[in-house]
Amino acid sequence: MTAADSRSLKTDQDQDETTLAAEPAAVSEREARQTAEAAREAEWRKPSFGKQLFLGRLRLDLIDPWPTPSAEIVAEAERFVARVAEYAEAHIDNAQIERDASIPDDVLRGLADLGAFGMKIDKKYGGLGLSTHGYCQALTMLASANSSVSALLSAHQSIGVPQPLKLFGTEEQKSRFLPRLAAGEISAFLLTEPDVGSDPARLATTAEPVDGGYRLNGLKLWATNGTVADLLVVMAQVPRSEGHRGGITAFVVEADSSGITVERRNAFLGLRGLENSLTRFHDVFVPAENVIGREGQGLKIALTTLNTGRLSLPAVCVAAGKYCLRVAREWSGARVQWGRPVGQHEAIATKIAFIAATTYGLEAMLTLSCLLADDESNDIRIEAALVKLYASEMAWRMADETLQIRGGRGYETAESLAARGERATPVEQVLRDLRINRVFEGSTEIMHLFVAREAVDAHLAVAGDIIDPDATVGRKARAGVKAGGFYARWLPALAVGKGQLPRGYAEFGRLATHLRYVERASRRLARDTFYGMARWQGRMERKQAFLGRVVDIGAELFAMSAACTRARAEGTAEGWELADLFCHQARVRVDALFTALWDNSDARDAAAARKVLDGRYASLEAGILAHDDDRPWVAPWSTGPSEATDVRRRLRR
Ligand SMILES: Cc1cc2nc3c(=O)[nH]c(=O)nc-3n(C[C@H](O)[C@H](O)[C@H](O)COP(=O)(O)OP(=O)(O)OC[C@H]3O[C@@H](n4cnc5c(N)ncnc54)[C@H](O)[C@@H]3O)c2cc1C
C-alpha cells in the first residue's frame, strides 16, 4: 500500500466536523523549486570567498590575514569555555544520560545558571553576548561532555527563537522573549511535518487570520526540544486573503498555549537524551504581534537564520574529531598485535593520519567561518553551508575509522566495556550520535543543491533566460548577447593565474605549493562547471551527481585554504605539518573528484535506479525476512483536537 492509498483510506473513515484530513499539498517539482528559489537570498552585499572560489578566483585576501578578534572578546570566550568545562566535568554524566535517555533537570538548571541558554543573546537582554566563535567553542566543549546537551543548546539558540528574533524581531519582541530565553526557558524550531522534510512547499500547517492574530492548525514532526520547550518558532501557511499577502510565515508561539499537545517523544539511533517531539496544534491562537518579520517571509527567515546557525553543527563535529584523535592515539599505541602496536601497521597508520589531518582542517574551516561571521566583512552563507556539509561527512568518516581502529571494542558499548573492567570509551555512541548531522539542518543532498545553486548563479544571471523553457524568443536573444559579453571576459581569465607562477604564494613557505594547487583547481572547477552548463543547459539542475562533486571540490578547496591560512597565522611547527598533511590528503580527494566529474557511471546509475523503482530487480530481494508491516510509509494525519496524552516534560526550575 502506498502512502497515498493509506491517506485515502483514512479520509474514508468517519471524522467529526472539527477534524479535517490533511491531504498533502499536490506540489509539483516546479513549484517546489520556485518556493526554494523565492526563499533564497538573491543579493550579495558583501564579498564571499566561497562564491569567488566557484567562479575560479582564489580571493585569499578575503581570508588572509586570519581575522583576529579583540583580546577582550577572546578572553571573554575563554573564561566562559573554562567555566563550562568545569561544570560539565563535575555535573554532566554521559553514561547516565545515555542510560536514562534523558538530561536531568538539575543539569539544565545548572547550565542556565552558567548562562549557557543565552550564549548568543545580547547582554542587553540578559544574555552573554558571546561571539559566534566563542559560542562554537563552548558547543565543542559541551558536545565532548554529551552530544544531546550540545544538540539541545544548539537547537535552542541556532534555530530556536533567539536567532530569528535577533535578525528579524522587533524591539518589543526582543525585550519580551529574549530575557526569558537567556534565563533558561527553552526554545524549539518547528518546520518539519510528516509530509514536509526537504520540501517546505508542501507545508500543511495553517495559520488562519482571526481577530487580533492567527489560528494555528497542524502537526509538526521531529522538533528538537519540542517536549521541553517553553517557546516555539512555528512555520505555518497563511492563506492569501484581503489584507493578507499570505505564504509561509514564522510565529513565536507559547508552548503553554491552549490547543498544543506534545503527542510523542521520538527515539532515535543516537542522541538518546534528545527531547524531540511530535506536536499537534489545534485552533491555537497566536497574537499578531508574534509574527516574526512579515507574512510570507518564513522560509527566508529560516534560511537566513541558518546562515550562521549552521555553524553550530560543525562545532559538534570538531569535538568528535578531537575525541577520535585522542582515542586513536592512546589505543593504537597501547594495543599490540602481530608484534607491534596496531598504530604501527600501515593500514591503521593511514587512518590515524586521516583523523589528525581532518580534525585540523575541519577546525580551521570552522574557526575561520566563525571569525568571518563575527567581523561581518564577508557574506559567509556559502562557507557556512560548506562547513556544515564537509564537517558532517568527515566527522562520520573519522568516527567510522576510529571504530575500525578499536576493532571489536569499537563496536562494544561503554557500559559493557566498563563491566568487563576496561576503559569505558563510547566510540559506538560517537558514531550513532554523529549520524544525524548528515540529515538535519539541510541533508547532504540538499546542501549540495543549495551550494550548487550559488556556484552556478553567475551563469544563471547572464544566461538563465537562454535555458529557461518559459522565456520568449526575444528574452533568449537578449540573454545570448549578455552571456556572450560575460563569457568573452570571464573565460580567458580562467586560463592563467597565480597558481602557475613558481613563486606564487611564497609567503606561505612549504604550503605555497598547496595554495597554487587551490588556485589552479578553482579555475578548473569554474571551467568544468561552465562546460557542464554548456553541455546540459536546462537539464543541469538534474545532474545532481555532477553538481555534488563540484560542491565537494569547492569544500575541499575551502578547507585547504583555511588550513594554510590558519597554519601561517599560528606559526607553529605542528600547524605547518598538519596543514601540509591535510592538503596532501585533500588533493588526492580533489583529483579523484575531478576525474569522476566526467568519468563516472551516473547516467547508467540513474537508469538502473529507475528499473529498481519499477521493480525489475525485485527477485533479488528474495530469501530474506523483510520485517515489514502494512502500515504506510508516512502516517496519515488529520487536523483536529488531539486524542493523545500530552507528554510534555515540565522541568523543575
Ligand atoms: C533527530 C532529528 C532532529 C530533528 N530536529 C528538527 C527540528 O528541530 N526542527 C525541524 O523542523 N525538523 C527537525 N528534524 C527534521 C529534519 O530536518 C529532516 O529530517 C530533514 O530535513 C530531512 O527531511 P526528511 O527526513 O523528511 O527527508 P526527505 O525530505 O523525505 O528526504 C529523504 C531523502 O531524499 C533526499 N532528498 C530529498 N529531496 C531531494 C532532492 N530534491 N534532491 C536530492 N535528494 C533529495 C534527502 O536528502 C534524504 O536523503 C529533525 C530530524 C531528526 C531525525
Q: How far apart are the first and last CA of the chain?
A: 47
Nearest to 158 by CA among 188, 122, 192: 188
* HSE-up of residue 530 (Cα within 13 Å, Cβ side): 19
Whether 634 is in the pocket of ligand 1, judged by its Cβ within 6 Å, is no
pLDDT of residue 56: 94
Q: Mind giving me the DSSP string for 165-184? A: HHHH--HHHHHHHHHHHHTT
Residue type, 638: S
Whether 355 is in the pocket of ligand 1, judged by its Cβ within 6 Å, is no
* Annotation marks residue 441 as catalytic: yes
Sequence length of the chain is: 653
Atom of ligand 1 nearest to the CA of 190: 11
Write b or e for each residue in 434-468: b if 16 or more Cβ atoms lie within 10 A of its Cβ, otherwise e: bbbbbebbbbbebbbbbbbbbbbbbbbebbbbbbe
CB-based contact 336:348 (threshold 8 Å): no
CB-based contact 126:183 (threshold 8 Å): yes
Q: Name the active-site residue from 185, 275, 363, 441.
A: 441
| Rama region for 545: left / alpha / beta (φ>0; ψ in -120 to 50; rest) | alpha
- H helix intervals, 216-311: 298-309
Whether 276 is in the pocket of ligand 1, judged by its Cβ within 6 Å, is yes
C-alpha–C-alpha distance, residues 584 and 501, integer Å: 20
Atom 27, ligand 1: residue with shortest CA distance:
197
Main-chain dihedrals φ then ψ at residue 365, nearest 5 degrees = -60, -45
Q: What predicted TM-score, i.e. pTM, was given to this entire model?
A: 0.93
C-alpha–C-alpha distance, residues 593 and 552, integer Å: 8
pLDDT of residue 15: 40
pLDDT of residue 25: 62
Mutate to test the pocket of ligand 1, among 222, 389, 444, 453 (most ligand atoms within 8 A of CB): 222
For 352-385, what is each residue's pLDDT tens digit? 999 999 999 999 999 999 999 999 889 999 999 9
Atom of ligand 1 nearest to the CA of 442: 21
C-alpha–C-alpha distance, residues 390 and 551, integer Å: 10
Whether 222 is in the pocket of ligand 1, judged by its Cβ within 6 Å, is yes
- Round the CA-based radius of gyration of the chain to a whole number and report it: 26
Whether 512 is in the pocket of ligand 1, judged by its Cβ within 6 Å, is no
Q: Cα angle at 414 between 94 and 137, to 5 degrees? A: 40
C-alpha–C-alpha distance, residues 58 and 108, integer Å: 45
Count of beta carbons in the 10 Å neighbourhood of residue 123: 11
Q: Cα angle at 281 between 279 and 284, to 5 degrees? A: 140
Lookup: cell for 165: 528574533
C-alpha–C-alpha distance, residues 480 and 220, integer Å: 46
Residues whose CB falls within 8 Å of the CB of residue 14, separated by 6 or more in sequence, listed in order: none
Atom of ligand 1 nearest to the CA of 198: 29
Q: What is the DSSP letter of 600?
A: S
C-alpha–C-alpha distance, residues 87 and 111, integer Å: 8
Q: What is the DSSP letter of 278?
A: E
Spacing, Cα 152 to ligand 1 middle (Å)? 18
Whether 541 is in the pocket of ligand 1, judged by its Cβ within 6 Å, is no
C-alpha–C-alpha distance, residues 498 and 519, integer Å: 7
Mutate to test the pocket of ligand 1, among 440, 446, 447, 453 (most ligand atoms within 8 A of CB): 440
Atom of ligand 1 nearest to the CA of 444: 47
| Residue 469, burial from CB neighbour count under 10 angstroms (0-12, 13-18, 19+) | exposed
C-alpha–C-alpha distance, residues 500 and 106, integer Å: 60
C-alpha–C-alpha distance, residues 446 and 388, integer Å: 11
C-alpha–C-alpha distance, residues 251 and 291, integer Å: 5
Locus of grid cell 594554510:
564
Residue type, 253: V
CB-based contact 48:379 (threshold 8 Å): yes
C-alpha–C-alpha distance, residues 475 and 407, integer Å: 62
Spacing, Cα 202 to ligand 1 middle (Å)? 13
Residue type, 109: R
CB-based contact 189:155 (threshold 8 Å): yes
CB-based contact 504:554 (threshold 8 Å): no
The residues with which 244 forms a beta bridge, in sequence order, are 241
Atom 37, ligand 1: residue with shortest CA distance:
198
Nearest to 207 by CA among 304, 277, 276, 290: 290
Is the peptide bond between 65 and the residue preceding it cis, with omega within 30 degrees of 0?
A: yes
- H helix intervals, 407-472: 408-411, 414-419, 427-435, 444-455, 457-467
Residues whose CB falls within 8 Å of the CB of residue 187, separated by 6 or more in sequence, listed in order: 156, 160, 161, 162, 181, 225, 229, 230, 231, 232, 233
CA distances from 636 to 23, 26, 248, 299 (A): 8, 15, 22, 25
pLDDT less than 50: residues of the chain: 1-18
SS3 649: coil
C-alpha–C-alpha distance, residues 517 and 521, integer Å: 6
SS3 215: strand
